[in-house]
Amino acid sequence: MVKRQLFLMFIVLITGTLLLIVSPTKIEANNSSDDLVKSNRDFYYFDTYLTFKIWDDKSVPEDVWSDIESIIIDIEDTFSRSESSSELYLLNQKAGIEPVVVSEDLFNVIREAIEYAKMTDGMFEPTIGPLIETWGSYEEPSVPTEAQLQTIKPLIDYRLIEMDEETNEVYLPKEGMIIDLGAIAKGFAADKLTEYLKSKGYEHGIINLGGNLLLLGDRYKANYTGSDEWIIGLKNPEYDMWLNPEASSSYADVYVSDKTIVSSGTYERCWKDWGGSCLTDPDTGNVYHHILNPYTGFPVDNEVELVSIITDNSMAADGLSTSVLALGLRDGLELVESLDDVEAAFVTYDNEVYVSSGMIDKYKLDITNNDFKLYDKDGNVIDNDNDDNGEIENPDEQEEKSDEESYNFTIITSILVGVIAAGSVGFIVVKRKG
């Protein structure tokens, strides 16, 4: 396969934060003579930016970057829904015909997707492929008719998937069924790539797969003063560098180490008309965004615009971010609260931020944008004024503090459809409490 690498030109915002990828505002502090070597490599696959930044005592050798790219290529070759040579595509082609023996990776990820479907009563739906194809491409969509929706409705039901644990066979019993793993795929990819880097002895770094962020270890303490955690800016859904450049690029900071952060938002992608504008519902005026409700056949319609999940496993975060957004604020928060070691921040269209019970204590979530108001899971207002404790309060102060003692990163979220990594990792790492 032709090698595809894209070395990106960074676009600097007025706050000093970088767009499109996660990137530090400062490379090294002045409190140590032992300078870390920062290695980075940027790829462009699956229509999104894949960015790797690693800090170590020496540069990352070329053979490691080659291995990383090989894993990424295997991701596409195995799990793309649209590539005719991929394993998932071939499985879908056998729907209604015969069972297919699949790889351990594909089998496990389908099984994982089914678990999230069960958690959400089907709002997370791995067999949503027929609905996605009925809508068509984002650039040339076709809003489905009621007759079309009724035709494909019998094909969209995760409970129909038959799986044989002994033979690794998967069977889609109805012709026309299509599994789509785009809502869980990047997370698995991030986990696999992190597993590889750790096997090579790397302890400090950042993997950003189109907005799925995995933080390897903590900031290298020998070279940086201040907090040991990475300081991550959660993206302001109102920010657009072209349409709304005056808005702050982030609405809050969180402090994390050796965790993953995955966000899903309705603002990220939409079905567009011939002029490039987002299509809207003729009755409500709501934008036809990309997160579809498998029961109605139309985009999810609730009060939530953006959800960010923080947990240990990127695949879990990927599946949950989409799931809880689709469930809505009340049911989504209830699901998060029922899970161990999972925290979430929900942003509504009214710029209200609702957080799970451990988000502030564990990750010091700090509202940095005065347009946003913070609430706990029960709807009580939280006083998030950090003037007295010295924490970063707004993007301008954050820039000044970054120059002195810390890193700041911003998540720019996007959706990657039909992507996943090769290899095996642990599954169902998110467990219900009790």
pLDDT 10s digits, 157-179: 999 999 999 999 999 999 999 99
Please report whether residue 426 resides in a domain: no
pLDDT tens, position by position, 197-215: 999 999 999 999 988 999 9
pLDDT at 34: 53
Residue 11 to residue 17: CA distance in whole angstroms: 9
Instruction: Count up the domains in the chain and report the number.
Output: 1
Residue 374 to residue 346: CA distance in whole angstroms: 10
Please report whether residue 69 resides in a domain: no
pLDDT tens, position by position, 220-234: 765 565 668 899 999
Please report whether residue 402 resides in a domain: yes
pLDDT tens, position by position, 104-154: 999 999 999 999 999 999 999 999 999 999 999 888 899 999 999 999 999
Please report whether residue 57 resides in a domain: no
Structure tokens at 63: 């053979």
C-alpha of 278 from chain center: 22
pLDDT at 225: 58
Sign of CA dihedral 132, 42, 32, 196: positive
Please report whether residue 323 resides in a domain: yes
pLDDT at 247: 77
Please report whether residue 31 resides in a domain: yes
Sign of CA dihedral 234, 73, 184, 133: positive
Strand boundaries in 303-360, DSSP class E = 304-311, 343-348, 352-355
> Who wins on pLDDT, 144 or 24?
144
Please report whether residue 102 resides in a domain: no
Residue 365 sits in a domain whose CATH number is 3.10.520
Contacts for 154 with CB less than 8 Å, ≥ 6 apart: 174
Please report whether residue 184 resides in a domain: no
Decide if pLDDT at 186 tops 60.
yes
Range of the structural domain that residue 290 is part of: 12-51+205-410
Q: What is the mean pLDDT of residues 79-83?
A: 91
User: In 10 A of CB 283, how many CB atoms?
Assistant: 6
